[in-house]
Amino acid sequence: MRRVCIFAASSATLDRVYTDAAFELGALFAQNGIALVFGGGRTGLMGACARGVKSRGGRVTGVIPEKLNVPGIAFEGCDELIVTADMHERKAVMERIGEAFVALPGGMGTLEELMEVLTLNQLGYLSAPVVILNVAGFYDELLAQLHTFVARGFMDAACLSLFAGADTPGKAVEALHSFRAPRLPDKIRDAIENNEKGKGH
What is the Cβ-side half-sphere exposure of residue 21, based on CA atoms within 13 angstroms? 28
Sketch out the chain's domains with CATH numbers: 3-198 (3.40.50.450)
What pairs with residue 112 in β-bridges? none
Does the pLDDT at position 92 exceed 80? yes
Does the pLDDT at position 198 exceed 70? no
Does the pLDDT at position 142 exceed 70? yes
Does the pLDDT at position 178 exceed 90? yes
Global pTM? 0.92
Contacts of 173 (CB under 8 A, 6+ apart): 25, 28, 29, 32, 34
- For residues 59 and 26, give the distance between their C-alpha atoms in angstroms, rounded to a whole number: 10
| Among the ranges given (30-34, 87-91, 184-188), the one the predictor scored with the smallest mean pLDDT | 184-188
User: pLDDT tens for residues 73-87?
Assistant: 999 999 999 999 999
The 3-state DSSP class for residue 4 equals: strand
Mean pLDDT of 8-28: 97
What is the Cβ-side half-sphere exposure of residue 15, based on CA atoms within 13 angstroms? 7
- The residue ranking higher by pLDDT, 193 or 99, is 99
